[in-house]
């Protein structure tokens, strides 16, 4: 049986990771809203750094047992899909 404190910590970890993922989604949304601007290397660098940071956060949370690896992979997969959509739109435009 899982202790209530353990469940609470897992829920908090998932909430915090999803909040961080939401911030990255907002960066993607800003870029999508401004598609008339040329591709910005600085923007891409910031986004790559944010994605790397989130992947490290998720890795840490998995390693200490706060979340399941599948939950972390799902968060990253959703963001990677949004990034793929952004790059598809940029390449077509």
3 band by pLDDT with thresholds 50, 70 and 90: low
- pLDDT over 90 (residue 38): no
Residue 41, pLDDT score:
76
Per residue in 41-89, pLDDT tens? 777 788 889 999 999 999 999 999 999 999 999 999 999 998 888 778 7
The residue ranges of every structural domain in the chain are 4-92
Task: Give the contacts of 47 (CB within 8 A, at least 6 positions apart).
Answer: 24, 27, 28, 31, 83
Question: Into which CATH architecture does domain 4-92 fall?
Answer: Orthogonal Bundle (1.10)
Predicted TM-score (pTM) of this structure: 0.79
Give the pLDDT confidence score for residue 16 in this predicted structure: 95
Copy the structure tokens of residue 38.
């040329």
- Whether the per-residue pLDDT at 22 is higher than 70: the answer is yes
């Amino acid at each position: 049986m899982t202790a209530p404190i353990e469940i609470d910590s897992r829920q908090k970890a998932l909430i915090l990771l999803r909040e961080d993922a939401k911030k990255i989604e907002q960066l993607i949304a800003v870029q999508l809203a401004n598609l008339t601007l040329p591709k910005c290397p600085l923007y891409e660098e910031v986004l790559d750094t944010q994605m790397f940071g989130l992947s490290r956060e998720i890795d840490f949370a998995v390693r200490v047992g706060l979340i399941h690896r599948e939950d972390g992979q799902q968060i990253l997969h959703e963001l990677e899909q949004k990034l793929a959509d952004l790059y598809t739109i940029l390449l077509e435009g």
